[in-house]
Structure 1
Amino acid sequence: MKNSRDNQLSDRRTAAADAKAALLNAYRAAQVAAEPEKAKRQAERAAVAAAREARRLEREQAKLEEKARAEAEAVERQAAAHAAAQEEANARENAEKARIARVMEDEAARKAARDQRYANRKARQG
């Protein structure tokens, strides 16, 4: 379009409106042409987001399994420690009972020896 000097205001306004309408039509045509590509990109984004969510769920599940395994392991260790402590207490108790039994046997043996000596002495005297 030739830009002449004797344009009137209305001519310039009409030319500007036509140019604006042409730009708007070109934009709309580009939007319509890009619609399949836009849908394809959105589908790809949705697939990527779904894969990301699946990986996040998998990591979360792995963490839960690891936590459960660690808790089970801790319970086993605690049970083993408790069993060892109980066994040690039983062994100490048995050792103490055995010591007491030996002391009593020794005391009985000493008493029997003393009684024998007393009986022998009485037999010699009398």
Structure 2
Amino acid sequence: MAAFKIPTFQERTAAAQEAKRRAVEKLKNAGAQTTAAAATAEPSARDIAAAERRAAHKAAIEQEKAARQEARAAAQAEKEAAEERAAAARRPGPMPTLPTQAELKAARDARYAARKARNR
């Protein structure tokens, strides 16, 4: 019986390359068979249910997104309305009208007449 021979570096690399080549070839063949089988197979009830759940989940997310957008728009409109009310409150009102000379004289005469009436 021959003694165990330690493989050289070149032998080890050649063996590794051959093993890698066989593994890649095996994966290619398995992938082709799996793809062909999946293409011809009809979807199972579990696949259909999963697709329906995904669609329902996606619809719920879209609905939540629309509700958030609507709430954001309503909040923005309320904020703008509040700013408008605050700006309107800060605006000065109409200028007060000063009494004319005739009105001032009439008021003065009324005070004078009231004073004279008290003294009598």
TM-score range with shorter-chain normalisation? 0.3 to 0.5
Structure having the higher helix fraction is: 1
Larger Rg belongs to: 1
TM superposition score normalised by structure 1: 0.44
Q: Normalized against structure 2, the TM-score is what?
A: 0.46
